Amino acid sequence: MLRSRFILITCSLLTLVLALALADLSFGSISLWSLQGDEVMFSTILYDIRLPKTLTCILAGSGLAMCGLLLQSLFRNPLAGPYVLGVSSGASLFVALATMVLTSVNISGVFFAGKAIIAVYSIAGAFFVTLIILAISRKTKSNVTILLVGLMLSQILGAAQGLIEYLSNADKLKTFVMWSMGSVGSTTLSDLAVIGPLTAIILLTAFFLVKPMNAILLNEQYARNLGINVNRLRLQVITITSLLVGIITAFCGPIAFVGISVPIASRLFFKTAHHLHQMVFCMLLGASVLLAADLICQLISTQFTLPVNTVTTLIGSPVVIYLLFKSKLSIG
Amino acid sequence: MIALRNLQIGYRQRKKAIPVFSGLNAEFGAGELVGLMGDNGVGKSTLLKTITGTLPALSGGVWLNGKNIGAYTASELAQQLSIVVTERIGGFNLTARDVVASGRIPYINVFGKLSPADEAIVAQSLEQMGIAALGDKAVDELSDGQRQKVMIAKSLAQQTPVIILDEPTAFLDYNSKHQLFRILKALCEEQQKLIIVSSHDLDLMKPYIHRSLTMEEGNVMRLT
């Protein structure tokens, strides 16, 4: 891809993200611009509700899309993604354990400490599942096997979570179920002060993997022959994805669809295999998708906020199916 | 350039050695097209994996320019020896040029940026294989013959004195097979590369190769 084209697409996507972010800040149960006379109300809504939510969409959207891209390239399979491989389920199960079994953890608390503990569990869960997937990927060469194992793992973890839910009491169950539906609206600016820079640093680290990721796209034998330490690359990808999925899942719940579909869409829209380009495109597209989903949640109803998962899946999945049929080229 | 000395090849499973072939001794120099022959399962691929440093030797060793293959770092080796394997690649928007450009990976920075000099080498490699017009095509859309040319162009871009090809004619039709060997022979003679090709098709290789290493059951090795 030509440099000028890369810059043009990046600028267009940046404009899209900015426009969607601005719209996301403006609309909701009350339009922000109708409050201009009321300073207190204006700043309360902007700083306590809208801005954290908008920033969370950007962070979570770009982070999950990055994870999907890294996993799809590593396994050379467009079906890979944090949700499909069971990574999100792992994070989910560990959070279920923390909130419903270990009674000391209070998920609904607005204090960062509670969320930080959730994040630790969530990262541990994500890491645990990714390690299993990694171990299996060394035993088998078949990507189909790995994906099937991922799907089975998802089921097992889901069943274990169901068991915990069944045995839990009503109050705890409700908070957990609300969390598991995915929400970008429960983070505060002080949460973001911690997870924002953290996520940004992890995302930046991913850019140091551009060259080995380009090599692994051929296959592992070629990558090794090109001087790439494939085992180290696997560990790096696993670490980055479990940290990102863990942090994002802890604060937003398991968000489906973005991780797997954004990289697919990005490859369909932007014809490049280069990871420097695809990483930038995926992050910006991921942020746009989640912002748009949140915006749709707001516009559908002013009375209540829909869980963001329902929108990403209900609107996003048909779009990807359409794109897949429209494009003649294989994307994976 | 490459020397096999009392080489025993095979696998290790839980510290137990499972030998595939023993007593390999040979020496190959620059400008030679070497045919590695033998029936399926005799250990040709295992030998090639050992030569490329992917699989450690059970005993003895492979020497490249007087240095044991195991003593090279991965990035040093990437500038000495390139491979073409049987597994087909493609998808993920990979174009022929992307694949050939990946040959420059051992030489470029961490963000994968090609310098104008690298770009020129990639263009030249495509040109040499006669596939300059296919550069922007997706690898998926190419024929098997064209794909093999892309993989060899990748090896050329990698600028290694040694190229190893494992069963490169497996998916090719009659004409493409002969064309491939004509190209390999020309590369050896014009660029003084050492090229080792494995194949079980003796009749196909014979008119082109300079030397042959035949492996037969019972650790029988014949060298010409």
Model confidence pLDDT, tens digit, residues A147-174: 788 889 989 999 999 999 888 888 888 8
For A:274-293, CB contacts with B below 8 A are 274-276
Q: How many domains does one find in chain A?
A: 1
C-alpha span between B119 and B139 (Å, rounded)? 19
The verdict on residue A332 lying in a domain is no
* DSSP 8-state class, residue A245: H
Binned at pLDDT 50, 70 and 90, residue B105 comes out as very high
Please judge whether B52 and A225 are an interchain contact, meaning their C-beta atoms are less than 8 angstroms apart: yes
The verdict on residue A125 lying in a domain is yes
**Digit-coded pLDDT (tens) for A202-258:** 999 999 999 999 999 999 899 999 999 988 898 899 889 989 998 998 888 888 788
Binned at pLDDT 50, 70 and 90, residue A111 comes out as very low
The verdict on residue A321 lying in a domain is yes
**CATH value at residue A143:** 1.10.3470.10
The mean pLDDT value for A273-286 works out to 96
Query: Among A319, A263, A293, A307, which Cα is nearest to A57's?
Result: A293
Give the CA diameter of chain B. Answer: 52
The residue ranges of every structural domain in chain B are 88-159
CB < 8 Å to A208, chain B: 110-111
CB < 8 Å to B141, chain A: 329
**Digit-coded pLDDT (tens) for B79-95:** 999 999 988 888 899 99
CB A179 within 8 A of CB A253: yes
Whole-structure pTM value: 0.90
Query: What is the residue range of A304's domain?
Result: 3-326
Residues 6+ apart with CB under 8 A from A127: A90, A238, A239, A242, A243, A246
CB < 8 Å to A76, chain B: 91-92
The verdict on residue A84 lying in a domain is yes
Question: What's the pLDDT at A110?
Answer: 43
CB A258 within 8 A of CB B94: no
Most B CBs within 10 Å, among A76, A142, A211, A226, to test the B interface? A226
Q: Which residue in the set A73, A214, A331 is minimally distant from B112, CB to CB? A: A214
Q: Does A156 touch chain B (CB under 8 A)?
A: no
Interface ipTM: 0.93
Residue B171 is encoded by which pair of tokens?
């998916």
Per-residue b or e along A55-90, where b marks 16 or more CB atoms closer than 10 Å to that residue's CB: bbbbbbbbbbbbbbbbbbbbbbbbbbbbbbbbbbbb
- Distance from first CA to last CA of chain B, Å, rounded? 17
Please judge whether A76 and B91 are an interchain contact, meaning their C-beta atoms are less than 8 angstroms apart: yes
